[in-house]
Amino acid sequence: MKNILLIGNTLNEGTPRGQAVGFRLDSILKLVETRATSSRTTLMHFLCKSLAGKSPELLDFHEDLVSLEAASKLQLKALAEEQQAVVKGLEKVEQELTASETDGPVSDVFRKTLKEFLDDSGADVRALSALYADVGRSADAISLYFGEDPAKYPFEQVASTLLTFVGLFRKAHEENLKQIEAERKKALKEAEKEASQDRTPVKSKDGNVGSPRSPFK
């Protein structure tokens, strides 16, 4: 993120936007939209090239985000609704137990069974509610870490943006490597062609074949 901010400030140097201290998270996806003049090279390619030269260890940052794809599929709102449904279901069972207390001995077995169920399930539901609360706090913390308001830029959007960025970054890096390899092969081919020309016998004006041209003359 620091390298992206540095690139942005460098491009905007001399303007009010050239001293930014941060940026919106979704701005990282716009790196593929800004291209060099008359070139397919984007800022994403430039970022990858810059990291390859200065901080090559950062090129594999995606390996630290192995759970990102799975996390991007989480739907916290749906989980919250399911958790609330479980809580309300348990509350209804508790109401049934309370109501059965006026039924007398005929409901003794029913009340006993229901109470045992509530004792076991109640602990599980409380643990589930505590776990969901922790997940919610962690999800909000991730949005805040990237400087976003969890209410406006929730965890699902953060995960989706990061996953898309990882894909675009890796694609740009692979294209850079292919370009480097193509340029290497081109330079090698040109060198071989030049060496072949240097070994070609030179004909004199009278048609006699002389020695090959020396590259040292």
pLDDT tens profile 167-185 = 999 999 999 999 999 999 9
Question: Residue 216: what pLDDT?
Answer: 47
Whether residue 27 is found in the same domain as residue 57 = yes
Q: What is the pLDDT, as a whole number, of residue 151?
A: 92
Q: Which two tokens stand for residue 156?
A: 């699902």
**Mean pLDDT lowest for which of 10-24, 63-77, 135-149?**
10-24
198 found inside a domain: no
| Residue 34 contacts residue 46 (beta carbons within 8 Å) | no
The alpha carbon torsion through 45, 46, 49, 51 (nearest 10 deg) reads -110
100 compared with 141, residue with greater pLDDT = 141
Residue 129 lies in domain = 67-146
Distance CA 118, CA 89 (A): 11
Residues 59 and 72 in one domain: no
Closest among 55, 39, 74, 77 to 6, alpha carbons compared: 55
Residue 214 has pLDDT above 90, yes or no: no
Length of the chain: 217
Q: Do 79 and 97 reside in the same domain of the chain?
A: yes
pLDDT, tens digit, 9 for 90 and up, residues 77-105? 888 899 899 999 999 988 888 888 777 77
Please indicate, yes or no, if residue 55 is contained in any of the structural domains: yes
Least confident of 27-31, 118-122, 207-211: 207-211
Per-residue pLDDT, averaged over 141-161, amounts to: 93
Same domain, 7 and 76: no
Please give the pLDDT value at position 207. Answer: 56
**26 and 12 in a common domain:** yes
CA atoms within 13 A on the CB side of 26: 9
What value does the mean pLDDT of the chain take?
A: 83
- 115 and 93 fall within a common domain: yes
Quote the pLDDT of residue 111: 83
Q: Strand, helix or coil at 102?
A: coil
For the chain, percent of residues with pLDDT exceeding 90: 39
Spell 164-182 as b/e; 16+ CB within 10 A means b.
Answer: ebeebbeebbebbeeeeee
Please state the rounded mean pLDDT for residues 97-125: 83
DSSP 8-state code for residue 35: B
Number of compact structural domains in the chain? 2
Q: Is residue 216 part of a domain?
A: no
